[in-house]
Structure 1
């Protein structure tokens, strides 16, 4: 497999691991980018841009973008934390102060930080939304506002796979009066110079490759690929919180549909280049190429301060969350204990590690079973760790 792009001296292990993903782990098309101390040190891409492309199909190019699924959540979290940084959103206030309708059905004491830390108790919808309904931000917000919590808000945690998008998007709209996709474009992506979108503009549609499932063996190269049995069983059980959380949009949306990509779902349908995802995280922890820094040091520490830890009622494994970000741990290994970021179900990963000055972005067109710890992304993270060592 021909790998395109560059790596800085010392980061050659990342190129080797990226190439091995194609030969050992069935990668079809992907890109990875790494920044160190605000400067790009890895910029690699290879393969075809479309998962269903035949031999000789359009190659992946440097500017190819892909849907990143739940890696979108890290962008949505940054938006709310920036509102807090600017003094217009109180993390300890009840969410109903800003969004009165949300106080319904026993959620009066749900705080803003509970929404960010997957502690709000509303990972499911009693009546799932269709993809068309989910794309209407008013319908999504109304549905989650009316939903009764399945545990007392603030007392436990469980991954809000889809509802997180309506929770964060509507809260931002209530505070700013602006749609979340527009706000992210103007207040995050623009200042950071990051190629990422919540709601893909028509002018950028041609850059986004087609995604799809990737068939994988039980293991490859000594790495386990498929989810653990307990997780798989939870997904299969119709009444489990796991199944219901991921079925809050039913049937499953066609992620290659232009209408779906143009919709704004801050939990699941962001589109980014690998460089865009890495550059976004680089801007959270420092200046990028001498330019904008998004988070103050105080906000950065808030983002990665542990809010939830232990058995996750949705993911049926131990997880750790800060304010909107997954933290380094067994379920979602990142670079080091101080890392914070977010994977996308089936592949994508973005994170930052302030102590090492590292920001990382990986995107792929082939989605694998599982929510966290994709073996291709993990191989790249280990390679970054080796380069630093």
Structure 2
């Protein structure tokens, strides 16, 4: 690591020393080159307040450790559909029903990608195990009435986003979105990430754990609210018993169960920041990247309950950066103005203050 970025390294390891982190990875590219690539802690789940045992210490976090990064995966599934847009196979302003005939909501592909389609929650209450039933959840969405007129307002499609976008990929291309990602993006760009892990990749996963056992309730929002409905059907998405299970890890739930390394996420954004070409391999046209990272909606978000700016799959910040954070603390984005990409992948479910402090340290170095 370049000495210039020593404050970032120190901040990263201070999180472990203070007990705020138990297992995580951080990768930063600057000016087209990786300058920070750190891992720390263990892959084992550590209860709040527990001391890491000798057994836990024997399972260190490695550069190839995969972890569930929640909504950090939304831009990744969006890029699968945008690949088909780039190839002229999907029109952003065509109705979804042009590709998915059973789909009743009069939303366009662009509205689905920018969280304005009006389907932020699965409409039929389903049991937890249906997280693995792709066809059932997509059929529920196809038959649903929208919560608002598509295009009129946004509400993060917290769980439904991956099924809406991924089913469009499957309808047009024929491949499930996990296979499409592996063959069309992750493979060519050498990205260690994916949806729907096989047994070998599951053995590389870190176990998610709570910094505070009250975290699932705290993140739900008011009972019965749109946010609660969006996050809790099917139930179990913030329950470590579920998200650490083979059922969850093997399923394709693209809005919330991308498993990735920090280095893969920073590398992905480096390719986008370079206009769609990485190590001489072009996956996207510069025009597609420009459209994908342009603000499509700016205004109230009914699920987040705050103002939001959405591109085609990413959040956009006032400093011009674009990317996505995940509930629990993982995050990845590109900052075109400052010339860096940043990825933090953690198994410790808590707030985003860890990322805030790392960014502050990074900006002090630039």
Deviations 1:4-42 (A, max 9, x none): xxx223111210221222234611111100112332111
Q: 2:357 aligned with 1:379, yes or no?
A: yes
- Tell me the equivalent position of 2:160: 163
Q: After TM superposition, give the deviation of residue 236 of structure 1 in Å.
A: 4.1
How does the TM-score come out when normalised to structure 2?
0.91
Match of 1:341 among 323, 329, 332: 323
2:30 to 36, 41, 58: 36
The question of 1:361 aligning with 2:343 is answered yes
Q: CA deviation at 1:138?
A: 0.9
Deviation at 1:294, TM superposition (A): 3.0
**Aligned partners of 2:334 and 2:341 also within 8 Å:** yes
1:60 is displaced (CA, Å) by: 1.3
CA distance in 1, matches of 2:224, 2:259: 31
Find the residue that maps to 2:36 and give its secondary structure: strand
Aligned-partner Cα distance in 2 for 1:295–1:345: 28
Aligned pair in 2 of structure 1 residues 9, 260: CA closer, same or farther (>3 Å)?
same
For 1:153-181, what per-residue CA distance to the aligned partner results, in whole angstroms no more than 9, with x for missing partners? 11000011100011011010011011000
Is residue 2:237 matched to residue 1:249? Answer: no
Matched, 1:178 2:163: no
Per-residue deviation, 1:116: 0.6
| 1:87 aligns to 2:88 (yes or no) | yes
Greater mean deviation of Cα atoms: 130-139 or 263-272:
130-139
CA distance 1:352–1:147, change in 2 (3 Å)? same
Per-residue CA distance 1:215-241 (angstroms, 9 max, x = gap): 299xxxxxxxx99xxx95x93422210
Let me know the Cα RMSD of the aligned residues: 2.2
Q: 1:262 aligns with which of 216, 238, 250?
A: 250
* Aligned residues of 1:122 and 1:160 also touching (Cα < 8 A): yes
- Contact persistence 2:117–2:146 (CA under 8 A): yes
**CA displacement at 1:344 relative to structure 2:** 0.9
Name stretches of at least 5 consecutive residues in structure 2 with no aligned partner: none
**Which deviates more from structure 2 when the two are superposed, residues 177-186 or residues 28-37?**
28-37
CA contact (8 A) 1:328 1:340 kept: yes
Hey, what does 2:8 align to over in structure 1? 14
**Residue matched to 2:79:** 78
Contact 1:285 1:293 in 2 (8 A): no
CA deviations over 1:36-87 (Å, ceiling 9, x no partner)? 2332111001111122384221111222111111111010111111211111
1:137 to 130, 134, 137: 134
SS, match of residue 295 in structure 1: coil
Distance apart, 1:128 and its partner CA: 2.6
Alpha-carbon distance, 1:291 to partner: 3.3
Measured in 1, the distance between the counterparts of 2:23 and 2:289 equals 32
> Can you give the 5+ residue segments of structure 1 that lack an aligned partner in the other structure?
1-6, 218-225, 330-336
Cα pair 1:25 1:376 within 8 Å, conserved: no
1:327 aligns to 2:316 (yes or no): yes
Deviation track 1:190-244 (CA, whole Å, cap 9, x = no partner) reads 1111110111122222211111211299xxxxxxxx99xxx95x93422210111
Task: Tell me which residue corresponds to 1:99.
Answer: 100
Shift of 1:271: 0.3
Q: Is the 8 A contact 2:295 2:311 kept in 1?
A: yes
Displacement over 4 Å in runs of 4+: none
